[in-house]
Amino acid sequence: MSADSAPAEGPHQGPAANPLGHGPILLLTNARLTDGRLVDVRIGGDRIQAVGAAGSLGPLPALPGRPTVTTGARIDLAGYLLLPAPAEPHGHYDTAFAAALPGPPTEDPADLVRRVTEAALTSLGYGATAQRTHVRIGDAHGLVRLEAVLMARQALRGLAELQAVAMPRLLTGRAGADGRAQLREALKLGATAAGGCPDLDPDPVGYAQILLAAAREADCPVDLHTAGRDTAQLARIAGVLAPLRPRVTVGPCSALPPGGVSVLATAGVRVVCLPQNGGCTGLEGPPTGLRPSLARELTDARVPLAVGSGSVRDLANPVGRADPLEAAYLLAATGTLSPEAAYDAISGQARLTLGLPAVRVDAGFPAELLAIRGDSLTGALAGGHSRLVVHSGRVVSRTSAVREFADTIALALPRQNSPG
């Protein structure tokens, strides 16, 4: 028998502690950092209070007048790597699981809320404590999908941070009148950012101009879809949105030709790529795959690059997964980025794309953490399944994987007890 967690039920906690409902103090012990150090980490509220050598931070304080009851939980992370939590910078939760439905997805609000919530929790279970989903508005959709996402966001408060990008299909001319009205209403209702796909509008530059005005009025960022095939048009759109820099993101740029990276570098925008298949439902076309060298070209040109999942079993990618580490693995396995750069693309750069503060495993930083079974970052990317997720200083998800083998054949090999 080989377990991917030790013990089988996952990270070891004190006998009286419940890691999914602990008190104000959380002590993580014997965790390994990416530089190889073994440390204890003490968390108070939503911040990391202290980081010290393993065994140095001591016991949890007791509750006043109750010396046998501590004010929080102690969790032993021996065998786990402790990392800044990933973030999901580009999801489409309003279409999540559509490929698994017996028929076309409905606009039933209850069904939409259920699928959005399930997608967000799936991503959270993999470690993404902050997530951004693009949501179609206008046309036949009205604001039904956005309202479902906002309801799910409220239900998920305290578990994960969920952002919504309002995506009208058309904005210019008489045909775009409904989209313009719906965009303004969506931003008033609580959408985090203005977005959409200018490539689908008869006047892509005019589309960007309307987005700029709406974003300025609402004081929000812009997050656009584009394949990036027409670099001249991309340059004009980026020029229109220049007043909003650095709060402008474009992606997935799956059709950006060689040499097109210079346009993005000059524009000063952030880019989100989707390594699983390069595309998503926002482009309204079959995915073309991600050009293998694109991520490296972007990082070499110092274009801020985050990577996301894009799809959770929707029609653009019926096998789409919500695991941020899958995206990092794909970039590292192909040699496109180093494991460290690949993880930064799903963590540090993804959080910056969402406008969130940086996270380090160090005192004073936000307690947004992922503990994953593994002895190193490469080991974690190769197959760390057991995970413990901390959001706002609280353990919000725990996954424990156990692998068993039948004892019908005696092999002259030691039992496999290594992480994985």
Instruction: Find the helix packing angle between 177-189 and 144-155, rounded to 10°.
Output: 10
Tabulate helix, strand, coil % of the chain (nearest 5).
30, 25, 40
| Helix and strand totals (H; E) in the chain | 11, 21
> Which amino acid is residue 59, in one-letter code?
P
User: Is the separation of the CB atoms in 25 and 91 below 8 Å?
Assistant: no
In terms of DSSP H, where are the helices of 227-369?
A: 231-240, 261-267, 294-300, 324-333, 339-346, 348-353
Q: If we measure between CA atoms, which residue out of 166, 158, 151 comes closest to residue 114?
A: 151
pLDDT at residue number 233: 96
Position 23 scores a pLDDT of: 58
Q: What CA–CA distance (Å, rounded) separates 38 from 29?
A: 8
Q: How far apart are CA 276 and CA 296, in angstroms?
A: 16
What are the tokens at 112? 């939409």
- Contact between 313 and 97 (Cβ < 8 Å): yes
DSSP secondary structure string, 12-75? EE-TT--TTS--SEEEEEEEEPTTS-EEEEEEETTEEEEEEETT-S-PPPEETTEEEEESEEEE
Cα separation, 386 vs 404, in Å, equals 15
Q: Does this model's pTM top 0.95?
A: no
Average pLDDT of adjacent 10-residue blocks, the chain of 420 residues: 41 50 81 97 94 88 66 90 98 94 89 97 98 94 96 97 97 96 97 96 97 97 95 95 95 92 94 92 79 92 95 90 95 95 98 98 97 96 94 95 76 52
CA 24 to chain centre: 26
